[in-house]
Structure 1
């Protein structure tokens, strides 16, 4: 029988765990696992979201109504392993940064509707 190295063992364990968990309830975690996001990439993403959330709150207090620039910044800084829209919807489902993510989903949905009208 083939001996598993640490990476193979970890991958195998994650596969087993994903079978016993309802991954639909954890779409963000599922994206992290499926796209081989490293701990460093995860930490960078969380730091980016914290920074954008702080900017969002400042802009909201100042009376801003359009947060498209924050969404563009998010998409531009996101690792290429992740799709921005899928990531945003997954974050929303798991409840990360609710105000910021709600603003992002509103922009995405508005742009989708606007695109269909053309």
Structure 2
């Protein structure tokens, strides 16, 4: 079996698995797999959340609390295969960095 055939077979098997697994408790992982992200992409996502947290802290030091600039920064730096609202909803559901993701999610819901 050629490498191309193996990749095609694995893609098909992954498609079947994606349809057969209940992702309701793991929406973050579902979004990552659906977007076909690499480990490096996921690490970059977590780094992005840390950068947003730093911006959030910086704003707090100056008495600012607007979420809109943080959301603009987040969306602008987000991997293009990810939908901002879906990935933020997934993070909130799995309680991933809630201090960052929850305000962003609330803001994106207001704008949609």
**Structures share a fold, TM > 0.5?**
yes
Tell me, yes or no, if structure 1 residue 12 matches structure 2 residue 13: yes
Corresponding position of 1:106? 106
Corresponding position of 2:31? 31
> Which runs of 5 or more structure 1 residues have no equivalent in the other structure?
113-118
Distance 1:105 1:16, change over 3 A: closer
Corresponding position of 1:115? none
**Between Structure 1 and Structure 2, how many residues are aligned?**
110
Aligned-pair distance for 1:10?
7.7
Matches of 2:85 and 2:11 in 1, distance apart?
Answer: 28
Residues 55-106 of structure 1: per-residue CA shift (max 9 Å, x gap): 2133234321212111111101111111111111111111111011121122
RMSD between superposed Cα atoms in Å? 2.5
Residues 14-62 of structure 1: per-residue CA shift (max 9 Å, x gap): 844873x530111110000111011111111111111111221332343
- The SS at the match of 2:51 is helix
Distance 1:14 1:62, change over 3 A: farther
Corresponding position of 2:72? 72
Greater Cα offset, 88-97 or 100-109? 100-109
> Which runs of 5 or more structure 2 residues have no equivalent in the other structure?
none
- TM-score, normalising length: structure 1: 0.75
Distance 1:14 1:61, change over 3 A: farther
Tell me, yes or no, if structure 1 residue 44 matches structure 2 residue 44: yes
- TM-score, normalising length: structure 2: 0.79
